[in-house]
Amino acid sequence: MTNEDKLQLWRKVEKTDLQFTKQVNQRGGYTAISPQYQLKQATAAFGPYGAGFGLESSEMDFSLYQLDNIVIHKAVFFYVLNGERHSFPITNAIEAARETKNGRWIDVDFAKKVETNTVSKALSKLGFNADVFMGMFEDGAYMQELTNELQIKKADDKDAELVRQRQEYDDWKQSELTVYAQLKTVNALKTAYTGHVRKCERRNDEAGMKLFKTAYENRLAELGGQQ
């Protein structure tokens, strides 16, 4: 079995539909994924919840509750792939209560929240929404790619939207190629080239990569390797 064979499921479920995410301005900021969207993804891959995938041997551990207001969730996640059943243990935790100036606040929905989050964590181990968990939603070029896909999906005339995006991309390449002559150091040149190649790779644009490589090598020779 090749590495690509092993990554078959991962490749299938790693990309997240931008429509089902939102930015949360807490804990330094992060991207939240719709739990229902994740369940739909998993159902498409494995079958209905409880039959094709889900949690079993689920239990709440309250040993840290009195000391730290923390409840630990322990479970076994299972899924059925190609007719074979697989499973692995998963552990999670949640703050079920908090001391405030108005007294003790108890989250009555903590059990539902931690179970939902546990399923999400388990699915992430299989590659679901890997682009979010790998930090790619902080990559401007990747986000532009997702935005383009969403615009095509929503467009009344999808062919016309695709043509518009291709032209926009071609214009971007021509504009960016003129930047190389303005770069004064090798470090700046390498940074620009890396970003350009990454964007071309995501579009499987080998011709674009060759254009930027030629521009990079020509400018590198002109700079003489000076930092």
Q: What is the pLDDT of residue 40?
A: 97
pLDDT digits (tens, 9 = 90+) for 77-105: 999 999 999 999 999 999 999 888 888 88
Q: For residue 126, give the 3-state DSSP assignment.
A: coil
Burial of 50 (0-12, 13-18, 19+ CB in 10 A): exposed
Q: Which positions of the chain have pLDDT values less than 70?
A: 225-227
Domain spans in the chain, listed from the N-terminal domain onward: 3-137, 139-223
pLDDT digits (tens, 9 = 90+) for 151-160: 888 889 989 9
pTM of the entire structure? 0.76
Q: What is the pLDDT of residue 226?
A: 56
pLDDT digits (tens, 9 = 90+) for 45-54: 999 999 999 9
Residue of 220, 193, 222 whose CA lies nearest to 208: 193
Phi and psi angles of residue 121, each rounded to the nearest 5 degrees, phi first: -65, -40
Q: For residue 170, give the 3-state DSSP assignment.
A: helix
The total of other beta-carbon atoms located within 10 Å of residue 10's CB is 13
Architecture field, domain 3-137: 2-Layer Sandwich (3.30)
Q: What is the β-pairing status of strands 30-33 and 53-61?
A: unpaired
Phi-psi region of 198 (alpha: psi -120 to 50; beta: other; left: phi over 0): alpha
